[in-house]
């Protein structure tokens, strides 16, 4: 089935270029040049992903993202101005799945979109309740793509779910930023890329403290992250 993408960007020339290029890559594309209309279309249209610019008329990209996240978990890739690291971090903290600084190579955009697409694929029918990861009071259901912590469902974005899965699978083992980026984001880690750190920070905040108030996800300086657990806490059904 063809994946349909919504591009929300006020640069009409860029929208035309991307629409043409993405069509050759097998994507269906609609474009909107206004923030308010883009938010409405994202929530009411049948789109699998959205590409969202930060600088937009009527509503900026952050407000559009906020409205989308109020009613949808549709993956969103944000386009930011090169060098605007603050915009990237804010977008990720608000629930964007990934970002790409302008100007960019369309091939890089396609690679990012395909990585998001792979993460968003649900488990095949018939496997819905079979794949469960349990570490302490956290239960991750790969089929339903849900996470329950201390008996309460935790609302995670697609990328946060992938980060959580990677950490739980290797609970008790230090996972490098390079490996975590590769497993959760589906791309290689860049030395100046803080995306994975922002996603881990958001996941840590949503899960809350562990037993005794300790951090569930520990930062290992210069290496990566560790999801801590005791031997008695871990159980898998995979």
Task: Please state the pTM of the whole predicted model.
Answer: 0.71
Written as tens digits, the pLDDT of the chain (238 aa) is 568 999 999 999 999 999 999 999 999 999 999 999 999 999 999 999 999 999 998 899 999 999 999 998 889 999 988 667 788 888 888 989 899 999 899 999 999 998 888 776 644 444 444 588 898 899 999 888 899 999 999 999 888 999 999 999 999 899 999 999 988 888 888 777 788 999 999 999 999 988 777 889 999 988 999 998 654 455 554 5
* Domain hosting residue 96, numbered range: 3-120
> Same domain, yes or no, for 75 and 145?
no
CA atoms within 13 A on the CB side of 180: 30
Of 120, 140, 160, which marks where a domain is finished?
A: 120
| φ, ψ of residue 106 in degrees (nearest 5) | -55, -30
The whole-number pLDDT of residue 129 equals: 43
Q: Which two tokens stand for residue 235?
A: 């159980």
Of 82, 100, 120, which marks where a domain is finished?
A: 120
> Same domain, yes or no, for 114 and 12?
yes
The whole-number pLDDT of residue 209 equals: 87
Considering its fold, how many domains does the chain have in total? 2
> Same domain, yes or no, for 45 and 112?
yes
> Same domain, yes or no, for 17 and 109?
yes
> Same domain, yes or no, for 114 and 150?
no
Of 120, 145, 166, which marks where a domain is finished?
A: 120
CA distance 91 to 85: 10
CB 134 within 8 A of CB 113: no
Q: Which residue in 170, 174, 169, 142 sits closest to 156, CA to CA?
A: 142
> Same domain, yes or no, for 172 and 90?
no
CB 159 within 8 A of CB 199: yes
The whole-number pLDDT of residue 188 equals: 83
The whole-number pLDDT of residue 232 equals: 44
With respect to residue 186, please indicate whether it lies within any of the assigned structural domains.
yes
> Same domain, yes or no, for 71 and 151?
no
CA distance 209 to 230: 15
| φ, ψ of residue 149 in degrees (nearest 5) | -125, 120
The whole-number pLDDT of residue 128 equals: 43
SS3 76: strand
With respect to residue 125, please indicate whether it lies within any of the assigned structural domains.
no
- The CATH number for 161's domain is 1.10.10.10
> Same domain, yes or no, for 144 and 113?
no
With respect to residue 126, please indicate whether it lies within any of the assigned structural domains.
no
């Amino acid at each position: 089935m063809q994946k349909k993408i919504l591009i929300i960007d006020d640069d009409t020339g860029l929208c035309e270029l991307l629409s043409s290029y993405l069509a050759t890559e097998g994507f269906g594309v609609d474009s909107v040049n206004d923030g308010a209309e883009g938010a409405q279309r994202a929530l009411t249209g049948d789109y699998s992903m959205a590409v969202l610019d930060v600088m937009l008329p009527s509503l900026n990209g952050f407000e559009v993202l906020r409205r989308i996240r109020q009613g949808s978990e549709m993956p969103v890739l944000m386009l930011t101005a090169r060098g605007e690291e603050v915009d990237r971090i804010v977008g990720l903290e608000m629930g964007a799945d990934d970002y790409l600084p302008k100007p960019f190579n369309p091939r890089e955009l396609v690679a990012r979109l395909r990585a998001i697409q792979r993460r968003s694929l649900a488990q095949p029918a018939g496997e819905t309740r079979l794949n469960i990861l349990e570490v302490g009071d956290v239960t991750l259901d790969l089929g339903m793509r849900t996470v329950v912590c201390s008996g309460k469902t935790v609302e995670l974005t697609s990328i946060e779910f992938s980060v959580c899965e990677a950490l739980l699978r290797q609970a008790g083992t230090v996972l490098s930023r390079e490996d975590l980026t590769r497993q959760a984001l589906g791309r290689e880690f860049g030395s100046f890329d803080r995306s994975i750190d922002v996603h881990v920070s958001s996941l840590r905040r949503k899960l809350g403290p562990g037993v005794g108030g300790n951090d569930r996800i520990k930062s290992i300086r210069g290496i990566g992250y560790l999801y801590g657990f005791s031997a008695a806490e871990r159980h898998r059904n995979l």
